[in-house]
Amino acid sequence: MKKINRKILVAVLLGMLAAVCFSSSVSAASYKNQIVTKNNKQYYYDNSGKLVKGKFGYKIKNKYYKISKAGVLTKVSKVQGLAGIRLNPYYGKYSNSQILWKAFQWSANLKYYTNSTKAPAGQTKETYFGTYGFERNRGDCNVQAATFYWMAKALGYNAKFVQGYVPTAKDANGKITVYSPHAWTTIKSGKTTYVYDPNFSGDCYQKKILKGMKSGYKFTYGTKNTYRYFNSKKKELK
């Protein structure tokens, strides 16, 4: 009798386990194009019922998210989402430093188009110029710097969007006579601030001068064969 009871018990338990597994699989498969909350965390299942994982940026019903490797959603702003979407093809395939270089090249290669240096009321410059560049694939130094800034932020870098001036004309004595508005990005690593200037690199690359695309990537203020950078008060940054 004991042997029979054990067999029956095992059979019952296996049946219950199968039912639970079947129920779970049916439930998961029934999620299509849905955000599902589990243990106070949100997950998204696409149109085929597949759990979406590992995205720097993702759009769901006009809202934007980043998605962890485990599939957990974190809501982000539109410009953050657009930046992340640009980086999605590299998720899990390259290191952050490699992806940063790819992001820089994308911004440097934007089709040049002159923009206003000011953002509309209610928007920060970073947001306005970044969104403009991601949506239109064109822009000037402000857009190039802002798009790179947002992609660097999406990768976790301590980035900053900077507007200032660079000298574009001197007199016979070498005194600067013309300062032109310019924008670039900086990334702070430890105690060192590095400059990333997609516009400068794009110009060097197209004209086949200096080191081309590498010329404006990760250098410190005052580096030879780069611009002299000045802040909004026309004080040189060093």
CATH number for the domain including 188? 3.10.620
How far apart, in whole angstroms, are the C-alpha atoms of residue 161 and residue 26? Answer: 48
- The pTM score is 0.86
Is the pLDDT assigned to residue 5 strictly greater than 70? no
Q: What is the pLDDT of residues 156-206, one digit of tens each?
A: 999 999 999 999 998 888 899 999 999 999 999 999 999 999 999 999 999
Q: Are residues 121 and 227 in the same domain?
A: yes
Query: Shortest CA distance to 110 belongs to which of 94, 130, 127?
Result: 130
User: Which of 44, 76, 108 represents a domain boundary (last residue)?
Assistant: 76
Q: What is the pLDDT of residues 104-154, one digit of tens each?
A: 999 999 999 987 778 899 999 999 999 999 999 999 999 999 999 999 999
Domain count within the chain: 3
Identify the three-state secondary structure at position 114. coil
Q: Are residues 42 and 57 in the same domain?
A: yes
Q: What is the pLDDT of residues 11-65, one digit of tens each?
A: 555 555 544 443 444 455 589 999 999 999 999 999 999 999 999 999 999 999 9
- Domain housing 153: 80-238
